[in-house]
Structures are given as C-alpha cells and as structure tokens.
Amino acid sequence: MRVLQLPALRDNYIYLLHNPDTATAAVVDPAVAEPVLEKLAELGAELVAIFNTHHHHDHVGGNRQLLERYPRARVYGSQVDRGRIPGQTVELKAGETVEFAGRLAKVLFVPGHTRGHIAYYFSESGDLFCGDTLFAGGCGRLFEGTPEQMLGSLDQLRQLPEATRVWCAHEYTLNNLRFALTVDGDNPDLQARYQQVAALRQTGSPTVPSTIGEERCTNPFLRWDQPALQAATGAQDPVRVFARLRGMKDQF
C-alpha cells in the first residue's frame, strides 16, 4: 500500500492509498474530487473506497463527484455521522476494522472535534489517518465535543507505537509550533522541531506526516502531564490543563 499526499483547498491534505497489484485505490477525506480523479487517471487505478474521518465539508466535499465516476466505491464513516456524510454506505463503530489492499485498519473512535470523529489505524504499516483530531504540533478545535472527550481521544492516539506515521488532514504545523513555544518554550525537542518545520515551509514542503514519537515530545496537547504545561496553564488535573491549553490556542 502506497500513501500519496494530495494538497487541496488552502491547507488540506487528501490521502490516496494505492494498490498497484490490483490497480485499486482508496481515498481518505476527499475535500474535493478533482485532484483525486486526476491522480486516479494517472495511476490507472479504480477507486474502491472512501474513508471519511468526520462530516466537515473540507473532508467529504468530494464524495459525490467521486461516486459519480466510481459508483461502486464504498463510503465509510462513523455511525454517529449517519446522515451527515454524503453517500455513506458503511457505518463504523469503535474497534471495527476496514480493509484495503489486504491491510486491516482499526477504527478508533476519537470524538471531540466533532461528536462522530473516527481515525483509521493501519497497525501493520504503522499509518494513522486522524483527520482533525491530532495535528502535527496541535489538535482540532472542539466544535461538538467536551475537553474530557478530546483528552480521551488524544490519549488513545498518544498510546500508539512511537514510529506510527501521523497523517493529519491539515498543514497547520508551523502555526501550531509557534503556539507551542509560548507554553513549552524550554523544550529543546520543540525548539529543534520548530527550526525544521520553518525550513520545510520556506520551500513549501509538507511537514506531514510526523510520528507519534515526535508528537509525544513536542505537541503540547499530548503533554498535559508535563510540569511545563502544568505551569503554563496553572492546573494539574489533565482535563483542566488540556481545556486551558485549548482555550489559549483558540485565542492565539
């Protein structure tokens, strides 16, 4: 399984999973259809699955047009998002698995950004497609969920193996790390990462994927139990640390 990263809209990433052996492909969160259709044509691959992480338009906006061209593609999403994901055919629950190219992905229920948000975790290859829950250096805003829910979701993701690639849905890393430096500025791993990310963005290169290991060391939203973040928020309780950090970032 090859992962192709297609930039879309202002700062979205669409992921195309390609199986050259069978000339099939699956797409994660098609914000729009055009770049996906172009790439499928270039690869000579048939789209067999759409994996949606949540119902926001910049994640499902391409579903309809892709289905017009590939009417047999299955459309996966959370059972909580029933009626909100265009063309949805499969309603997923936590712990279920989906399959592409002979690889199984576990469905992780990660509410907080929205109440139905899920992530797809391919454990064999170590690929995590986490939509707008965990970002490189940050996390999604709480539109429909509580801090408790989001903390639980991020805790689930934090426990994945360190080498897991984090394929998030937006290129927000530089701004996320600017904020991170305001709350965890003495963290040498964070300082180093900021330099790397700033250099990548200078040349317009993607900063995604990162790894769970990197996120654990540098992402303030995975570091609620670290003294520096407790000091920055004036809280100890994980939910309060997280909620305050999220509130500070919303104002940043």
Structure tokens at 202: 């200078």
Whether 132 is catalytic: yes
CB of 162 to Fe ion, least distance (A): 26
127 touches Fe ion by CB under 5 A: no
- Phi, psi of 215, deg, nearest 5: -65, -40
- Is 81 catalytic? The answer is no
Q: In the complex with Fe ion, which residue's Cβ is closer, 7 or 213?
A: 7
Residue among 18, 55, 117, 170 flagged as catalytic: 170
Give the SS3 label for residue 251.
helix
Nearest to 127 by CA among 100, 154, 150, 153: 100
Catalytic, 57? Answer no
Q: Choose the one of Zn ion, Fe ion, none that binds residue 29, judging by a C-beta under 5 to 8 angstroms depending on kind.
A: none
Q: Is 81 in the site for Fe ion (CB under 5 A)?
A: no
Q: Is residue 56 a contact residue for Zn ion (CB under 5 A)? A: yes
Shortest Å, Cβ 59 to Fe ion: 6
Site for Zn ion in 117-146 (CB under 5 A): 132
Based on the residue annotation, tell me whether 170 is a catalytic residue of this protein: yes
Nearer to Fe ion, 58 or 81 (CB): 58
Among the listed residues 8, 26, 52, 58, the single contact to Fe ion using CB under 5 A: 58
CB of 109 to Fe ion, least distance (A): 18
What are the start-end ranges of the H helices in the chain?
34-43, 57-60, 63-69, 147-158, 173-184, 188-202, 212-218, 227-233, 238-251
Closest distance to Fe ion from the beta carbon of 248 (Å): 21
Which helix H or strand E contains 179, and what residues bound it?
A: helix 173-184
Candidates 29, 58, 81, 127; catalytic one? 58
| Terminal alpha carbon distance of the chain | 38
Is it true that the peptide bond before 209 is cis, omega within 30 degrees of 0? yes
227 three-state secondary structure: helix
CB-nearer residue toward Zn ion: 39 or 56: 56
Q: Positive or negative, the Cα torsion across 139, 155, 209, 76? A: negative
Nearer to Zn ion, 70 or 135 (CB): 135
Cβ closer to Fe ion: 58 or 184? Answer: 58
Residues 11 and 171 sit within 8 Å (Cβ to Cβ): yes
Beta bridge partners of 17: 3, 26
- Give yes or no for a contact between 204 and 192, defined as CB atoms under 8 angstroms apart: no
Q: Should residue 246 be labelled a site residue for Zn ion when binding is judged by CB under 5 A? A: no
Least gap, CB of 2 to Zn ion (angstroms): 25
127 belongs to the catalytic site? no
What are residue 121's DSSP bridge partners? 106, 128
132 near Fe ion, judged by CB under 5 A: yes
So which residues are the catalytic ones? 54, 56, 58-59, 113, 132, 170
Please give the residue ranges that form the binding site for Zn ion (CB under 5 A): 56, 132
Please give the residue ranges that form the binding site for Fe ion (CB under 5 A): 58, 132
